[in-house]
Amino acid sequence: MARPKTSVLARWMAASLWVAMAAPAWSAPAVQFTGVNLSGAEFNGGKLPGRPSFDYVYPNAQEIAYFTARGANVFRIPVLWERLQPALNAPLDRGELGRLSATVELIERHGGAVVIDIHNFGGYRGRPVGSSDTPYASFADLWSRIAAAFAGDDKVMFGLMNEPIAMTGPSLRTAIEAAIAGIRSTGSKSLILAPGVGWSGAHDFVPASSTALGDIRDPAHNMAYEAHQYLDADHSGTHWVCVDAKSAQDRLSAMTKWLRAHKQRGFLGEFGAADNPQCLESLDALLAYMRENSDVWLGWTYWAAGAWWGDYPMSVEPKNGADRGQMMVLKRSFIGGKNGSRPPEWWKFAHGTRSI
């Protein structure tokens, strides 16, 4: 749908009025990890390896400072497998690992945690994980090398595979189990985020993903299921019109019940809404739902931040130096929020010393 032809001032006045009048009073959120996707390092996957800061870009200190100043305490960093490991079963590329490591260091210096997200949709150079060209063992090799590179850093978490649409449920299960084994073989106890089947939608996690992945076991007992959920009608994150607030919450309800019944944890790795009053109301309702169900929802990262998004409807990059409407909602639910502090047990989730 085309963007409504309203002025920037009019949109901001409407958003400000809605936030001021419709939103409930702020209270300290119980969800442990709240932040954004700092996107850009995965851009231009058709250009491999690509030129850093030309074909793709990692976030800089100014961007990280902007979000941590508003209370974000975690950043999901999408990266491409092919850039990080140009040949299967080979050492990680020094230059790309250096750029990723520098980003991790910047984020940690600002007090944040990091989710390293392999943003490959279930394949390597177009060949699905589990095929003869991309064996499960190669996926495990990748993750054992990443885990070794960040050994001892409990602020780094591992997002195994973004939206594995190239894989079937049974294939994805085998890949997840192989990756877990590879990571734990290094001694790492960091949080692992296992993706759902296909687009990893929270709205259809039950039965698709729960049937295929429901009884996966992590020997370190520090795993969560990552889901994605956009608030437009077709769940795509591409439209300017959103479902209503109740429908937004309903999209998480079945997965929430499943997580609670099976004593599992969930992480909403991507979600987004456009900058208009209806979408902002639905976004606030989604965040409230996760706060109210924080016994199973471990955290979330909004999609998306990143300097190269332009007029993408879900972007939370500041515009002309001002917060977008989505940020006005998000910063009320960031862990830093208005009190600027984290819960005392915040890091216990990061290295598996607290369970639900």
pLDDT in tens, 8-19: 333 333 443 343
How many structural domains compose the chain?
A: 1
CB 256 within 8 A of CB 297: yes
- What range defines the domain where residue 100 resides? 18-348
Global pTM value: 0.87
Q: Is the pLDDT of residue 4 over 90?
A: no
pLDDT in tens, 32-64: 999 999 999 999 999 999 999 999 999 999 999
- Whether 310 is covered by a domain: the verdict is yes
- Whether 100 is covered by a domain: the verdict is yes
Q: Catalytic one among 63, 96, 270, 281?
A: 270
- Whether 12 is covered by a domain: the verdict is no
pLDDT in tens, 289-329: 999 999 999 999 999 999 999 889 899 999 888 999 999 99
**Distance (Å, whole) CA 348 – CA 179:** 23
- Whether 155 is covered by a domain: the verdict is yes
The CA-based dihedral angle spanning residues 94, 96, 98, 99, taken in that order and rounded to the nearest 10 degrees? 170
- Whether 222 is covered by a domain: the verdict is yes
Q: Catalytic one among 63, 96, 163, 226?
A: 163
345 is catalytic: no
- Computed over every residue of the chain, the mean pLDDT equals 88
CB 83 within 8 A of CB 50: yes
Ranges 163-167, 173-177, 225-229, 346-350: which has the least confidence: 346-350
Residue closest to 125 by CA, chosen among 45, 198, 52: 45
Q: Which residues contact 3 (CB under 8 A, 6 or more apart)?
A: 240, 311, 313
- Whether 5 is covered by a domain: the verdict is no
292 is catalytic: no
Helix (H), strand (E) counts: the chain: 10, 10
What secondary structure letter does DSSP report for 48? S
**Domain containing 299 — which CATH number?**
3.20.20.80
Query: pLDDT at position 30, please?
Result: 74
- Whether 354 is covered by a domain: the verdict is no
- Whether 290 is covered by a domain: the verdict is yes
